[in-house]
Structure 1
Amino acid sequence: MPEHDHDDQEREFDLRWADGAEHKEPSARARMLAARWKANPPEPQPFRADPDHVGRRRSPWVSTAIVLGSIAAIILVLGYAQFRAPY
């Protein structure tokens, strides 16, 4: 058996052994946040933003009118430019 295959089998065994461990050590970030929050717990946050912080949404009809008006203006400008172009 080549040495490379042997290393892969050992690595696979080590991963299975590590995944099967009952106790897993938290990540460095999790330990840092736990220490920070122990001294200064965070304020509870709502799942969704407060209505005061959410911008007022436009009606879909207003958005449609803006898009169609922009297209009409572009068509008119292009038509005028073609009409004014010398032949």
Structure 2
Amino acid sequence: MSAQDENGEREFDIKWADGAELKEPSARARMLAARWKENPPKPQPFRADPEPRAPSRSSWRSTAIVLGTVAVIILVLGYADFRPF
């Protein structure tokens, strides 16, 4: 039991960690700070509007292809059903 008591005392205490005076930045934050020091990012508006896209006209073509394929399959299955073996 004494080993568990020692481990219990060594358990990480989040309140103690949050109370630290100096907090080290994450590796990603350090990497970005170093990169931006040499080449700062361009300013961007908050939640910029996406660039407008041209309307897609291929949806009708896709629909026609799918419906045509279904019609051909129905005709082939119907023809195979009427053919005597």
Find the residue that maps to 2:55 and give its secondary structure.
coil
1:73 counterpart = 2:76: no
Give the number of equivalent residue pairs.
Answer: 82
Correspondence for 1:49: 50
Residues 33-58 of structure 1 show CA distances to partners (whole Å, capped at 9, x for unaligned) of: 1111122112234634322xx46335
What letter is aligned with 1:7? N
Q: TM-score, normalised by structure 1?
A: 0.54
1:7 counterpart = 2:7: yes
Whole-Å separation in 1 of the counterparts to 2:2 and 2:57: 67
Work out the percentage of aligned pairs sharing the same amino acid.
54
Query: What displacement does 1:11 show?
Result: 1.9
Q: Unpaired segments of 5 or more residues in structure 1?
A: none
* Bigger CA radius of gyration: 2
Whole-Å separation in 1 of the counterparts to 2:57 and 2:5: 62
